[in-house]
Amino acid sequence: MAASGVVDLAVPMAEKPSVRYREKRSVHRALLALGPNAVAVGYSALVLHGVQGLPVDHEPEVALRGTCHAPSREGIRVRRFTLERVVQTDGLPAEPLVPALAHAALRSGPMIALGLIDSALHQNLIDEEDVTAIWRLTRGRRGARALAPMWRLIDRRRESPLESWAYWTLTRAGLEPTDIQVEIVDASGRLLARGDLGYQLQDDTWLLVDMHGREPHESWDKVRSDAWRTNTLSADPSILPLTAFNEDLKNGRLVETVTRRLSGVPRHPRAGRARRAAARAA
């Protein structure tokens, strides 16, 4: 395939390529199409840095170094702003991660931004000081006010953007979970169950929500493991399992189901008593 003077020499694959592969390939082609002064910025920079949770329909974004300018073209968005620094990521020029996250957060809104920042933290691509720097870069900018409720919810323990989106959606509906990555243990300390999000009820029963999506639940081994875990939870009367998918966020079913499960049931007055699946970073 040839477009804008770029020849695609990729070898056809027997299987459908992954989302990550397609995203990187799209960024690479955009950089080639715009020439040697092109730099991946915003969402495209996040692709190269390895951040997960990007909108599925985003276009490649590039900016041009120096005083060069070019109009956006079909399938490529050209940003016009000064690049203070450029880094090499996978051999390609990219905007540094912290400003790229700030640009993406302002553009995407709080739910997507929470997933992006949680993903970067979970992979140790950034630390808590970087989160403060991202907040400073967004302050006073268009879209910053919408991000205000998000900052206190950021947590590196979340293992996928889907968990971040679920947490945001439930919290905005007045259903903030007691904890995340909840572990339930018996008197001897033996692990009985684990959930992505958990609600502790007054009788010490736990409603555990297990989120299923493409990442990190993309392998069949992982899906089978999650299904077996749900079956195990169902046999314990002190654990109320709930399995949800990405579609349940979009159609409101997750909020409806959690609301119904918690209706008339007192929540535990002391939150956060669950053992954590992963320690908070120092």
Q: Give, for all 282 residues of the chain, the pLDDT tens digit.
A: 444 444 444 445 445 567 778 888 888 998 998 888 899 999 999 999 999 999 888 888 999 887 566 666 778 888 877 788 999 998 899 999 999 999 999 999 999 999 999 999 999 999 999 999 999 999 999 999 999 999 999 999 999 999 999 999 999 999 999 999 998 887 888 888 889 999 999 888 899 999 987 544 445 556 555 655 554 555 567 788 888 888 888 899 999 999 999 987 777 765 444 433 332 332
In contact, 246 and 162? CB cutoff 8 Å = yes
Residue with tokens 């958990």: 198
The position carrying tokens 């996040």 is 46
Residue 83: which of 106, 67, 59, 72 has the closest Cα?
67
Backbone φ/ψ region at 91: left (φ over 0), alpha (ψ -120 to 50), beta: left
State both tokens at 44. Answer: 């495209």
Are 29 and 8 in contact by the 8 Å Cβ rule? The answer is yes
- Mark out the alpha helices in 187-251 (DSSP H runs): 220-234, 246-250
- Cα(166)–Cα(227) distance, integer angstroms: 19
Beta strands in 124-280 (DSSP E): 179-185, 191-200, 206-212, 239-245, 275-276
pLDDT of residue 3: 46
Cα–Cα distances (Å) from 100 to 54, 73, 139, 146, 233, in that order, read 12, 21, 15, 18, 40
pLDDT of residue 233: 54
How far apart are alpha carbons 151 and 160 in whole angstroms? 17
Is residue 204 within 8 A of residue 238, CB to CB? The reply is yes
- Please tell me the distance from the alpha carbon of residue 48 to that of residue 23, in angstroms, as a whole number: 9
* Residue 24 pLDDT: 87
* 29-to-24, 38, 59, 88, 192 alpha-carbon distances in Å: 9, 11, 12, 16, 48
Contacts 24+ apart (CB under 8 A), 234-239: 236/192, 236/193, 237/205, 238/184, 238/204, 238/205, 238/206, 239/184, 239/192, 239/193, 239/205, 239/206, 239/208
**How much is the pLDDT for 42?**
93
Place of tokens 């079913």: 253
> Do 267 and 199 touch, CB atoms closer than 8 A?
yes
